[in-house]
Amino acid sequence: MRILILNGANLNLVGKRNPAIYGNKSMEQLMVEIQRQWKDVHFSYYQSNHEGDIIDQLQNGIDFDGIIINAGGYSHTSVSIRDAIEYVVEQKTPVIEVHISNIRAREDFRRVSLLSDVCTRTIIGKGIDGYKEAVDYIINPH
């Protein structure tokens, strides 16, 4: 099984930026934990602050068994990322959207994700462990 974990803008700062909201654990630490927990799964990790790079990764991601995406601020603004996710899901590759914080309890501009209605599932407000829940869902769809 192959899973792509795809992060958008500013998520390279997880563990450093706003630890009260995003926690103290880095994505690198999380990836080590995930690989230890699911030894038989091949994980690919990609982070970019550039919208087009995220779209390219999504379009190339149809060869994976599932994609986990946290598009960061692009979740609230990018119709183009939404369209790429819609294409991937049409190709039968599940896409799980993750938000570390509870976006529905934050500023008004963060409360709506343009991606949620085209994603297979959305996980919100479970901290960095939301990624683990997403992996579990791809392996064992409920």
Q: Active-site residue 50, yes or no?
A: no
Find where tokens 């939301």 sit: 130
Of the residues 22, 42, 50, 87, only one is catalytic, namely 22
- Cα angle, residue 79 at apex, residues 111 and 137 outer, rounded to 5°: 65
**65, 2 contact by CB (below 8 A):** yes
Q: Active-site residue 99, yes or no?
A: yes
Token code pair at residue 63: 């060869």
Of the residues 42, 76, 99, 131, only one is catalytic, namely 99
**67, 95 contact by CB (below 8 A):** yes
d(CA 9, CA 14): 11
Task: List residues with catalytic annotation.
Answer: 22, 99
